[in-house]
A = this chain, B = another copy of it.
Amino acid sequence: MADLIVEPIVTTGPIAGSTKIYRDLDDGARVPFRRVGLAGDEYLDLYDTSGPYTDAHAVIDLHAGLPARPGVVADRGTQLQRARAGEITAEMAFIAVREGVPADLVRDEVARGRAVIPANHRHPESEPMIIGKAFAVKVNANIGNSAVTSSIGEEVDKMVWATRWGADTIMDLSTGADIHATREWILRNSPVPVGTVPMYQALEKVKGDPTQMSWEIYRDTVIEQCEQGVDYMTVHAGVLMRHIPLTVKRVTGIVSRGGSIMAAWCLAHHRESFLYTNFEELCTILARYDVTFSLGDGLRPGSIADANDAAQFAELATLGELTKVAKAAGVQVMIEGPGHVPMHKIVENVRLEEELCEEAPFYTLGPLATDIAPGYDHITSAIGAAIIAQAGTAMLCYVTPKEHLGLPNRKDVKDGVIAYKIAAHAADLAKGHPRAQERDDALSRARFDFRWHDQFALSLDPDTAREFHDETLPAEPAKTAHFCSMCGPKFCSMRITQDIRDAMAAKSEEFAAHGNRVYIPLENSVP
């Protein structure tokens, strides 16, 4: 693939307690699920983002890349254009089975622009997925090296690792050496859509000086990445000259790299952003490959103090204009959101985004609900992420414990993904997603029955759940014991509850035998 010597080592094999199964479609496509085996030949099938890597029977050859899926059509326009024409594409059919919803719903949401299917014709290794508020909330994991750390092998490993734990898309945010080669390795081996910020590579081409950037250099970078198979691209086209003065009195100014680069360019050249003035040409390029716009919030708040300010919402209004332009050109669009926002200001972001951007899928970075916990920003932001997803955000960009401090390593990637799967699932529950609570109920039943193996297998991270349990009770009999180390055998409330149920059942029989006279008053009057 490249003349570098790259020998990535990635994690393969099923997640503990699960096997990979597929539902076969007529066109030869196979929709993957993670089947959790439970006691008594029961099972629960879960949405599965991990690709062939968790299939015990798959042969993985990272140098060859993943096999292409069938059904990719390159010459009939974008998913948006085809949805508008009434077509249910191969990708939509795949997604309908994957999400457990009617294919019509998938098509209609895409046609309305309320959902996107990021699927570059040139990335056939990816399994189709959808981002939209009518579907399960999705999670993106950022990876990528910088000038200071990391290697291609590590980034491929992180990509596989992130999807193993549930990342629905990956963004390759590499800014260091070998950007093209890194992306090639990631794309050819990624079972999920890959997003980028083309500006980062373009800036490398001008040796990091934003003032030397030009539309031509940027455009050529976009084409290079479209050709390679990138599925969605962050474009900070909403940072306009008139917005820049609005940021001057902020506590943390402009924290988006793309936003700050464009602001610096505008000021240096005394000209309006070339992304804004050339936006229609950009649409033409993206439409050719069906690459989805992720309109970046270059002026997102970088601190609690700057949340929901004039700069942020002025840019959002511009993103609304651009959404209409993109959709008119048949290009799929989603909108990026903050950042750092205190809890009471979160919902307003969704309301305004939906109003200004015609309900295009919202894709937010957290937001962090406080600034005071560097080292724990996967948690500060999981709080904000759960709330913003409940309000309608379609995809959450994870934040790792290293946010603000350094580049995430493998452990950070997993911690970030798990924290965000929690936030996304909590939101699915709160939104009443039809299949979300099945998993909670199955796990809680296993917990109540002391089926420890089932409890581990149903959890987001079976390895850690089992490891924590085994710290105090490692012996195999403890996996079926009707107690745990928290209370010990005598105090177990679950065991006592079972005794109570048995007693109540016995009472019931006695009650029936004695002519059904009431022995416990049931005068509860509270709902």
Q: Roughly how many angstroms separate A310 CA and B78 CA in the complex, as a whole number?
A: 51
Q: Are B372 and A305 in contact (CB under 8 A)?
A: no
Give the residue of B203, B429, B507, B523 whose beta carbon is less than 8 angstroms from that of A304.
B429
Interface residue A28 (Cβ < 8 Å from any Cβ of B): no
Chain B minimum-CB-distance residue to A502: B267
Interface residue A447 (Cβ < 8 Å from any Cβ of B): yes
Tell me the number of copies of this protein. 2
A343-B426, A370-B422, A522-B242 as given contacts; A472 in contact with B441, CB under 8 Å: no
CB distance from A383 to the nearest CB of B (A): 5
Interface residue A440 (Cβ < 8 Å from any Cβ of B): yes
Q: Are B491 and A406 in contact (CB under 8 A)?
A: no
Interface residue A251 (Cβ < 8 Å from any Cβ of B): yes
Give the residue of B264, B304, B422, B456 whose beta carbon is less than 8 angstroms from that of A437.
B304
Give the residue of B148, B304, B492, B503 whose beta carbon is less than 8 angstroms from that of A440.
B304
Q: Are B430 and A260 in contact (CB under 8 A)?
A: no
A267-B504, A429-B343, A459-B375 as given contacts; A257 in contact with B441, CB under 8 Å: no
Give the residue of B369, B469, B497 whose beta carbon is less than 8 angstroms from that of A386.
B369
Q: Are B497 and A254 in contact (CB under 8 A)?
A: yes
Interface residue A376 (Cβ < 8 Å from any Cβ of B): yes
Q: Are B372 and A407 in contact (CB under 8 A)?
A: no
A residues adjacent to B (C-beta < 8 A): 146-149, 175-176, 200, 203, 208, 210, 241-248, 251-257, 259-261, 263-264, 267-268, 270, 302-305, 310, 313-314, 316-317, 340, 342-344, 369-376, 378-380, 382-383, 386-387, 390, 401-402, 404-407, 409, 418-419, 421-423, 425-427, 429-432, 437, 439-441, 443-445, 447-448, 455-456, 458-461, 464-465, 467-469, 471-473, 484-494, 496-501, 503-504, 507, 519-527
Q: Roughly how many angstroms separate A251 CA and B491 CA in the complex, as a whole number?
A: 20
Q: Are B469 and A405 in contact (CB under 8 A)?
A: yes
Chain B minimum-CB-distance residue to A459: B374
Give the residue of B264, B448, B488 whose beta carbon is less than 8 angstroms from that of A252.
B448
Q: Roughly how many angstroms separate A493 CA and B339 CA in the complex, as a whole number?
A: 14
CB distance from A318 to the nearest CB of B (A): 9
CB distance from A166 to the nearest CB of B (A): 11
Could you say which residues of chain B place their CB within 8 Å of the CB of A390?
A: 343-344
Q: Are B448 and A264 in contact (CB under 8 A)?
A: no
Q: Are A486 and B407 in contact (CB under 8 A)?
A: yes
Could you say which residues of chain B place their CB within 8 Å of the CB of A405?
A: 465, 468-469, 484, 486
Could you say which residues of chain B place their CB within 8 Å of the CB of A439?
A: 372
Could you say which residues of chain B place their CB within 8 Å of the CB of A441?
A: 251, 303-305, 371
Q: Are B469 and A260 in contact (CB under 8 A)?
A: no
Q: Are B260 and A496 in contact (CB under 8 A)?
A: yes
Q: Please name the 3 residue pairs, one residue from A and one from B, whose CB atoms are nearest each other, closest first.
A: A147-B488, A253-B497, A208-B490
Q: Are B373 and A472 in contact (CB under 8 A)?
A: no
Q: Are A376 and B460 in contact (CB under 8 A)?
A: yes
Given A245-B522, A372-B459, A379-B382, 17 more pairs with CB closer than 8 A: A146-B485, A146-B487, A147-B491, A252-B447, A252-B497, A257-B493, A261-B491, A304-B441, A317-B525, A340-B444, A342-B430, A344-B429, A344-B432, A372-B443, A382-B382, A382-B383, A383-B383
Could you say which residues of chain B place their CB within 8 Å of the CB of A404?
A: 447, 455, 484, 486
CB distance from A199 to the nearest CB of B (A): 10
Give the residue of B371, B519, B522 whose beta carbon is less than 8 angstroms from that of A444.
B371
Q: Roughly how many angstroms separate A404 CA and B492 CA in the complex, as a whole number?
A: 12
Could you say which residues of chain B place their CB within 8 Å of the CB of A252?
A: 444, 447-448, 494, 497
Give the residue of B245, B303, B456, B520 whose beta carbon is less than 8 angstroms from that of A244.
B520
CB distance from A332 to the nearest CB of B (A): 25
Chain B minimum-CB-distance residue to A389: B343
Q: Roughly how many angstroms separate A409 CA and B268 CA in the complex, as a whole number?
A: 56
Chain B minimum-CB-distance residue to A499: B264
Q: Are B379 and A419 in contact (CB under 8 A)?
A: yes
Q: Are B371 and A496 in contact (CB under 8 A)?
A: no
Q: Are B440 and A305 in contact (CB under 8 A)?
A: yes
Could you say which residues of chain B place their CB within 8 Å of the CB of A302?
A: 444, 447-448
A146-B486, A373-B460 as given contacts; A175 in contact with B491, CB under 8 Å: yes
Give the residue of B251, B406, B445, B522 whose beta carbon is less than 8 angstroms from that of A468.
B406
CB distance from A421 to the nearest CB of B (A): 8
Could you say which residues of chain B place their CB within 8 Å of the CB of A497?
A: 247, 252-255, 260, 263
Q: Are A402 and B468 in contact (CB under 8 A)?
A: yes
